[in-house]
Structure formats: C-alpha cells, structure tokens
Amino acid sequence: MFPTPLLQLSKKHPIGIFINARVLRDQMKREAFAENEQLRQALRYISQNTTLHPRQRAQAQLQLTTMHAHTRSTQFKNRCIVAGKGRGVFRDFRMGRYQFRLNALAGNLPGVKKASW
Amino acid sequence: MRAQQSAPTTTEETAEPPTAARLPLSVQAIYYKPLHRQPQHGLPVCNLMLRSYSVRQLEAQCDFALRAAYYLNMPATGIVSIPKKIRRWTVPRSNFVHKKSQENYERITRKRLIQIMDTNPEVVELWLAFLKKHAVYGVGMKADVWVFEKVGVGKTMNVSLSNLHDLKRPTWAHFGPRKTVETAAMVKDILESEKYKVPESQAPDTMGTMQRIT
C-alpha cells in the first residue's frame, strides 16, 4: 500500500487539544470532507437516480471514484483530545481509556465515579 | 431564645412581640412537604423531566418546581421517580498492557417526572421560564408541553388529499439527512454542465424509455 498523497491543511488548526502529526492528518481529512460534502452528495444523487440517463450516472460514478480519498467521511478516526491516541477512545468523552481514568479519578468528568457492586 | 435572655435588661421592652411568634404561613410551609393543588379535569398539559447525576440537587430542584407550581395555582402530580440509567466503563488500570488489572467506573443518571394538569399554556411557559432562571446547577430539564385546540381545528389547518399527495412525491425519494437544498442546486449545476450533456441522438425525449417519473 502506497501512502495517499496528502491534501493541504488550512492555516487554522485545532487549538487547545494535543497535537501531533496524526491529529493534524485527521483534522486535514475532516476539512477536506467538509469542503467537498455537497459535491459528493450531489454526485451520489446523480449516480443513484435511476430516472437519469445512464451516461450521466456513469459520469457521476467516475467523478466520485476520481475524488481524493480524504474527502470521504469513512477516513475519519476519532482521536483522544488529551493524548492524541487513536485506539480505545471513548466517544462520550473524546478521550483515550487512560486519560479517561485519570480525569475520572480527578473528578473532572461529571457524575463518573468508581463503581463497585 | 436570644430575645428571652435580653428581655429583663430594661423595663420598656415588656411590649415587645411574644417570643414564640408564628412564622408567616408561606415561610412555615418550607419546613413541610410541598403542597399540591387538586386537578379538576385531569388533562395533562406539561410533563417536566428532570435528570441529574446527583440526588441532592435533583431533589432540591423538584421541590422548588412543585412549590412554584403550587403558588401559580397549577395542579401537579408529585415527584415520580423514573428508573435510573447506569452507564459503566471498564478500563485497564495502566496506560499500557496489564489487561488483568482493571477498574470499573460508572455514571448514574437519576430522573424525576412532574406532570402539570389543567393549566393555561401561558402559565406553564411562565413556570418553565421561572424554573430555568432559578435552576439548581447540575440538573437538566426537559418539558413536553401539550396544547389543546377547539373542536373543528382540522378545517383551519388547510389539510387536503392533494396536499398529502404532494408530501410524498417520488422526486424526494433519494434525499436523505445529508442531502439538502444546496445539494439540489449543485445537482442542477452539474447536470447542466458541458461534461454531463447527453448527445441529442440519445436524449431522453427521443429514446422514450428515459422519461421522468413524476
């Protein structure tokens, strides 16, 4: 697998969260997706609409496949905002499991306590 | 007690009010359970759901809401406890490996329900705004409000069979939550562009089979 050529990252970057190359890459993908979302949906509509001419539908499908991979929402990876980890990230807190534990013990997460039953 | 001790110091203070003066009724009521108005018709008008991670704050807010309802002349059915929601997480104690040593964390959401009956919607709004203004921290509120209309409201709503037919036009069948009016405009632009032009020999009108379904 060859690495996908990168798109350009905009000047603004996520301030206030942990930053490393992987976080920035994910941010870039999200920006690319947001920029091309309407176009992608329009092309999807054309390619899936059976009442349109087959030529137009094929054209839309071709254009969709030639679009950059980073314009797809499936390329997103939720990352820990405190440590930048890509695995074991809780969607509820946007934090990795270890950061979740530290913050829960510190009492930073409302309502989260150590459980015993 | 303090008044009793200081009383004998001067002779002029004999005319002071009795030491065990009764509190005003509204103040005295705070020491007792909140009072309720009896519903006349029993028509539910508003369901207020309160939820919090802390019982104390939740109980305080419920109590406040019921008292406010009483003084606004709103019949309310008391605090109903809704089953609590427990969300648990299990995480390893360490930041790396050692899966055998784990810890459990939980978050318990407690819920209470207050139902208001037989009240003017304006008063209900006033009550809700008052609760929101003086809300206890850490308590979330959600209100379902119902408004009752006069008989024969259907005639004023301009609902006809042709209107309903328009609502489910097949042209909107391909539209999902992600496709908006902007998408529709873009689709139009794309289809009108040079790249997407269908040659005249294959145009839908001449082929006959490619007619739009309306």
The CA-based diameter of chain B, rounded to the nearest angstrom, is 118
Q: What are phi and psi of A70, to 5 degrees?
A: -75, -5
- The answer to whether A51 contacts B179, with C-beta atoms less than 8 Å apart, is no
Nearest CA in chain B to A115: B105
- Is pLDDT above 60 for B194? yes
Torsion of CA B192, B198, B204, B210, to 10 degrees: -90
Of A86, A84, A41, nearest to A60 by C-alpha is A41
- The answer to whether A41 contacts B213, with C-beta atoms less than 8 Å apart, is no
Q: Is A67 on the interface with B (CB under 8 A)?
A: no
Sorted by where each begins, the domain ranges of chain B are 30-149, 159-198
Long-range contacts of B209-212 (CB under 8 A, 24+ apart): B210/A51, B210/A52, B210/A53, B212/A51
- The answer to whether B186 contacts A38, with C-beta atoms less than 8 Å apart, is yes
Residue A112 CA to residue B90 CA, distance in Å, equals 12
Residue B207's pLDDT band, with cuts at 50, 70 and 90, is very low
* Pair of tokens at residue B57: 């704050």
Question: What average pLDDT score do residues B175-201 get?
Answer: 81
- The answer to whether B183 contacts A42, with C-beta atoms less than 8 Å apart, is yes
Give me the pLDDT at residue B63, please.
Answer: 95
Residue B58 CA to residue B188 CA, distance in Å, equals 53
Q: Is A42 on the interface with B (CB under 8 A)?
A: yes
The kind and range of the H/E element at B124 are helix B121-133
Residue A21's pLDDT band, with cuts at 50, 70 and 90, is confident
- The answer, as to whether pTM is greater than 0.90, is no
CATH 3.40.50.300 fits B30-149, yes or no: no
Q: Which of A52-56, A96-100, B91-95 has the lowest mean pLDDT?
A: A52-56
pLDDT for A22-54, tens place per residue? Answer: 998 898 899 899 889 889 999 999 999 888 889
Q: Which residues of B touch A109 (CB under 8 A)?
A: 107
pLDDT for B11-65, tens place per residue? Answer: 555 566 667 788 888 888 889 999 999 999 989 999 999 999 999 999 999 999 9
Q: What are phi and psi of B139, to 5 degrees?
A: -120, 125
Give me the pLDDT at residue A64, please.
Answer: 94
* Pair of tokens at residue B92: 């390893």
Of B46, B3, B33, nearest to B21 by C-alpha is B3
User: Does ipTM come in above 0.85?
Assistant: no
Nearest CA in chain B to A43: B187
Residue B7's pLDDT band, with cuts at 50, 70 and 90, is very low
Give me the pLDDT at residue B209, please.
Answer: 47
Residues 6 or more apart whose CB falls under 8 angstroms from that of A69 comprise: A4, A75
User: Tokens 């007619």 appear where?
Assistant: B211
What's the Rg (C-alpha) of chain A? 20
Residue B161's pLDDT band, with cuts at 50, 70 and 90, is low
DSSP character at residue B175: -
Torsion of CA B25, B28, B29, B30, to 10 degrees: 140
Give me the pLDDT at residue A16, please.
Answer: 75
Instruction: Considering only the beta carbons, identify the residue of B105, B178, B202 that sits closest to A113.
Output: B105
Give me the pLDDT at residue B117, please.
Answer: 93
